[in-house]
C-alpha cells in the first residue's frame, strides 16, 4: 500500500493555499512553539514532557495568550517598517481614488510574508491598518470627516469587501486591532489584507472629500500630527477669487438672473450665491464642471458625502440653491433641454431622496437624546439582546470552547438561541425534505416564515444569534481567543449594576441591528440581498415615525422581496425592538435612538452595494 502523500508537497495544493492568503513555511510551527516555550514554562507546562494531569483548558488559554502576543509583535512594526507600511497604504488609497485598479493591485501584490529593505511585510500592513482605523474612528475630531466612509469598489479576492465592511464597523468601537485574529479566521489572510487596505482607503477618501483636499494630503495629515479636519467653507470674496474665471462668470450671471426673477430660497441672494460658489469649489476639486449637466449627479453625490447629517436642513438648503441654479440654466442655456435630466434628479432629491431618510433619522436620534436617560436605560434593559447578556456570561463562566471560526459550537447553538426566543438546533447534516414548504406559504405582504427549529451547521445559520454574538464582541463584553470565549473587559462593567450602562446597552442594540441586516450581503446564495436591506431600512424608518399604534398605514406593497424584509422586522420583534399592532410595525419611542443609530450604520455598510440608495422610497 503506497505511503500517504504529504499535501504540502503537492504544488496545486500549495498554490490554492496561497490564493487564500496562506503561505506554508516548513518548520514555522516548531519556531513558534520554541518562541513561546518560556511562557509555557512559567505556567508549569512542558510540551516535551507533558504532565499526565495536564489541564487542557489551561493549555488552550496559555496557547491563545501566546498566539496573541505573537500576533501583536508581528502586527506592530516600528520605525522604517511602519513608514513603509503607511506608504503602501497611501499609494493604494491614491490609486483607488484615481480609479487605477491595476495600480492599486500592484501595491498589494508587491508585499511578501517577510519585510525587505524596500517593502513591508503583509502582517505589517494589516497591523498598521487596524491601528490607524481604531485611532481615526474613535477620534471625536474626525467624526464628521469619516461619517461618509464606505468601502470603495474593488474586484480583489473573495470576501475582501466583506472584511473591509467588518473592519469599518468594529473600528467604531476602537477594538479592531484586538479582532485581528478573528478577522483572519473568518475571511483568510489575503482577504483581510485587501479588506483593511480598502477600509483605510475609504476613510481617507471620505476625509479628503470632506476637507476638499487630496487623498495624499489627508494621508499626511491623519498619520502625522493632526487636528480636526477642516470643512471647506464658502467665504464670499475668498471663495470666489479661488474659482476659475468661467465659474466666477457663471455665479455672476446666476446672481443677475436671481435679481431679475426675484425668487430665492436662501435668506438672501448673496448667501445663495456664496453657497453655489462653495458647491462649485467642491465640484472642481474633484474634476467636475458646474456648466456640464452630465456632472450634476456626481455633484449631488459629493454634496451628500461631505454634508453634516446632524444638520439636515443645511443639506436641503444647498440642494435648493443647486435646483435654482438648474432653473437658471433651463431659462438661459442654448441647449436648455440637456438640463432636463439634472432638473428631474435634484427635484426628486428635494421631494423624496435619500436625504429625506437621513433627515428623519437625524430627527429621531436628536429627539431620543432629549428623553430622560433613566427611562431609556430601563427600556433598553428589557430588550432580549440586553436582558440576556447576564445569562450568556453565566453560561460562559471562566471560559468556554468555541469553533475555529470564532462562533458557538453546535451543542451550544440551541441553548443560547433560546435566550433570544429563537428555536434552533445544531446539526451535522441539513435536512432539506421541507425545503419548498416556505415557498408554498409565502405571501408578498407577510414575513417569510422562519423554520422552527432552525437547522444550524454553524452559528451563522441563525442570523439573530450571530448578530448578537458579534455585537457583544464588538463592544468588548465578550472576548475571543483562538479556541475559547471569555468575558471581555466591559463584562464586569455590564454586571456592576442591576441594569447595564445606557451607552453600552444602546451600542449593543445598534450594532446588533446593523449586523443582523447586513449578515447576508456577501452570501452568493441570497440574491438581491442589498435590495432586501434597503427595504428593511425603509420599513424601520417608517416604524420610527411618530404615530400611534392604531394608525392604519395601509397595505404594504406586494414587492417580491418584501417577505424577506418583513422577516428581518419579525426577528427584531422577537427580541423586543419592534412591536406589531393592527399590521403596523412600530419602534417604541424609548428605543428609537439606538434603532436609528443601527439604521445609520446599516446605510453606511450598504451604500457601496447600491447604485441608488433611496431608502425613503423602497417601501412605497
pLDDT digits (tens, 9 = 90+) for 594-612: 999 898 888 777 765 544 3
Cβ-based burial of 284 (10 A; exposed 0-12, middle 13-18, buried ≥19): middle
Query: Which DSSP symbol is given to 121?
Result: B
How far apart are the C-alpha atoms of 533 and 537, rounded to whole Å?
6
pTM score: 0.54
pLDDT-derived band of residue 344, with 50, 70 and 90 as boundaries?
confident
pLDDT value, residue 393: 95
- Which of 59-63, 105-109, 267-271, 340-344 has the highest mean predicted lDDT (pLDDT)? 105-109
Across the range 302-318, mean pLDDT stands at 62
Q: Worst-scoring range by mean pLDDT, 1-5, 283-287, 396-400?
A: 1-5
Dihedral class, residue 577 (left if φ above 0, else alpha if ψ from -120 to 50, else beta): alpha
Cβ-based burial of 265 (10 A; exposed 0-12, middle 13-18, buried ≥19): middle
DSSP count for the chain of H helices, then E strands: 28, 7
Q: Worst-scoring range by mean pLDDT, 239-243, 285-289, 360-364, 429-433?
A: 239-243
Task: Kindly give, in sequence order, each residue whose CB lies less than 8 Å from that of residue 579, ignoring residues fewer than 6 positions away.
Answer: 549, 573, 585, 586, 587, 588
Across the range 365-383, mean pLDDT stands at 90
pLDDT-derived band of residue 383, with 50, 70 and 90 as boundaries?
very high
- Return the C-alpha cell found at 586: 412600530
Q: Worst-scoring range by mean pLDDT, 79-88, 180-189, 483-492?
A: 180-189
How far apart are the C-alpha atoms of 456 and 190, rounded to whole Å?
28
pLDDT value, residue 370: 85
pLDDT value, residue 49: 67
pLDDT value, residue 231: 43
- Which of 38-52, 261-275, 388-402, 480-494 has the highest mean predicted lDDT (pLDDT)? 388-402
Mean pLDDT taken over the chain: 76
Summarize pLDDT for 178-190 with one digit per residue, the tens: 777 777 777 777 8
Across the range 396-415, mean pLDDT stands at 90
Q: How far is CA 517 from CA 296, 484, 512, 532, 570, in A?
A: 32, 27, 9, 9, 12
Contact 406, 400 (CB under 8 A): no
Residue 467 has pLDDT above 90, yes or no: yes
Work out the widest C-alpha separation in the chain, in whole angstroms.
Answer: 97
pLDDT value, residue 446: 78
How far apart are the C-alpha atoms of 154 and 100, rounded to whole Å?
11
How far apart are the C-alpha atoms of 390 and 477, rounded to whole Å?
10
Residue 376 has pLDDT above 80, yes or no: yes
pLDDT value, residue 266: 53
Angle between helices 160-171 and 189-211 in degrees, nearest 10: 60
Q: How far is CA 453 from CA 277, 425, 426, 525, 559, in A?
A: 60, 6, 10, 21, 27
Q: How far is CA 438 from CA 57, 212, 447, in A?
A: 43, 51, 11
Amino acid at each position: 500500500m503506497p505511503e500517504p502523500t504529504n499535501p504540502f508537497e503537492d504544488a496545486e495544493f500549495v498554490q490554492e493555499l496561497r490564493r487564500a492568503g496562506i503561505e506554508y513555511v516548513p518548520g514555522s510551527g516548531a519556531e513558534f512553539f520554541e518562541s513561546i516555550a518560556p511562557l509555557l514554562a512559567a505556567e508549569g507546562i512542558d510540551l516535551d514532557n507533558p504532565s499526565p494531569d495536564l489541564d487542557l483548558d489551561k493549555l488552550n488559554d496559555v496557547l491563545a495568550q501566546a498566539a496573541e502576543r505573537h500576533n501583536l509583535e508581528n502586527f506592530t512594526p516600528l520605525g522604517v517598517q511602519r513608514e513603509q507600511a503607511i506608504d503602501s497604504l497611501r499609494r493604494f488609497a491614491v490609486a483607488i481614488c484615481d480609479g487605477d485598479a491595476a495600480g492599486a493591485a500592484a501595491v498589494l501584490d508587491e508585499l511578501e510574508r517577510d519585510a525587505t529593505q524596500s517593502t513591508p511585510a503583509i502582517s505589517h500592513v494589516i497591523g498598521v491598518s487596524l491601528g490607524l482605523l481604531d485611532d481615526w474612528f474613535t477620534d471625536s475630531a474626525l467624526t464628521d470627516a469619516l461619517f461618509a466612509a464606505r468601502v470603495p469598489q474593488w474586484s480583489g479576492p473573495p470576501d475582501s469587501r466583506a472584511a473591509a465592511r467588518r473592519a469599518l464597523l468594529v473600528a467604531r468601537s476602537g477594538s479592531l486591532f484586538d479582532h485581528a485574529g478573528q478577522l483572519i479566521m473568518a475571511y483568510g489572510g489575503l482577504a483581510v489584507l485587501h479588506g483593511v487596505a480598502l477600509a483605510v482607503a475609504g476613510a481617507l477618501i471620505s476625509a479628503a472629500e470632506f476637507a476638499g483636499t487630496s487623498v495624499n494630503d489627508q494621508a499626511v495629515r491623519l498619520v502625522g500630527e493632526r487636528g480636526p479636519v477642516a470643512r471647506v467653507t464658502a467665504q464670499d470674496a475668498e471663495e470666489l477669487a479661488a474659482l476659475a474665471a468661467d465659474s466666477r462668470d457663471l455665479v455672476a450671471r446666476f446672481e443677475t438672473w436671481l435679481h431679475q426673477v426675484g425668487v430665492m430660497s436662501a435668506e438672501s441672494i448673496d448667501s445663495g450665491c456664496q453657497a453655489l460658489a462653495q458647491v462649485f469649489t467642491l465640484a472642481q476639486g474633484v474634476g467636475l464642471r458646474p456648466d456640464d449637466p452630465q456632472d450634476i449627479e456626481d455633484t449631488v453625490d459629493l454634496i451628500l458625502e461631505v454634508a453634516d447629517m446632524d444638520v439636515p436642513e443645511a443639506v436641503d438648503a444647498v440642494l435648493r440653491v443647486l435646483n435654482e441654479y438648474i432653473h437658471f440654466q433651463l431659462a438661459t442655456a442654448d441647449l436648455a433641454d440637456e438640463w432636463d435630466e439634472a432638473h428631474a434628479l435634484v427635484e426628486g432629491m428635494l421631494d423624496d431622496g435619500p436625504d429625506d431618510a437621513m433627515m428623519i433619522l437625524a430627527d429621531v436620534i436628536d429627539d431620543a437624546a432629549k428623553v430622560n436617560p433613566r427611562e431609556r436605560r430601563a427600556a433598553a434593559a428589557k430588550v432580549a439582546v440586553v436582558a440576556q447578556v447576564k445569562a450568556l456570561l453565566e453560561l460562559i463562566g471562566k471560559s468556554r470552547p468555541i469553533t475555529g471560526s470564532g462562533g458557538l459550537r453546535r451543542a451550544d447553538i440551541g441553548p443560547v438561541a433560546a435566550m433570544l426566543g429563537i428555536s434552533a438546533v445544531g446539526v451535522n447534516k441539513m435536512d432539506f425534505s421541507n425545503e419548498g414548504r416556505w415557498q408554498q406559504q409565502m405571501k408578498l405582504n407577510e414575513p417569510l416564515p422562519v423554520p422552527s427549529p432552525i437547522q444550524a451547521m454553524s452559528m451563522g445559520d441563525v442570523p439573530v444569534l450571530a448578530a448578537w454574538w458579534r455585537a457583544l464582541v464588538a463592544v468588548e463584553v465578550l472576548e475571543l481567543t483562538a479556541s475559547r470565549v471569555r468575558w471581555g473587559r466591559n463584562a464586569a462593567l455590564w454586571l456592576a449594576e442591576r441594569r447595564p450602562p445606557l451607552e453600552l446597552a444602546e451600542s449593543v442594540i445598534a450594532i446588533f441591528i446593523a449586523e443582523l441586516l447586513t449578515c447576508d450581503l456577501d452570501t452568493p446564495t441570497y440574491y438581491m440581498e442589498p435590495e432586501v436591506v434597503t427595504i428593511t431600512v425603509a420599513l424601520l424608518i417608517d416604524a420610527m415615525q411618530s404615530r400611534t399604534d392604531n394608525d392604519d398605514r395601509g397595505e404594504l406593497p406586494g414587492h417580491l422581496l418584501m417577505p424577506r424584509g418583513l422577516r428581518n422586522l419579525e426577528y427584531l420583534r422577537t427580541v423586543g425592538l419592534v412591536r406589531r399592532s393592527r399590521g403596523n410595525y412600530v419602534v417604541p419611542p424609548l428605543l428609537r435612538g439606538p434603532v436609528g443609530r443601527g439604521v445609520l450604520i446599516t446605510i453606511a455598510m450598504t451604500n457601496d452595494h447600491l447604485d441608488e440608495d433611496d431608502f425613503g422610497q423602497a417601501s412605497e
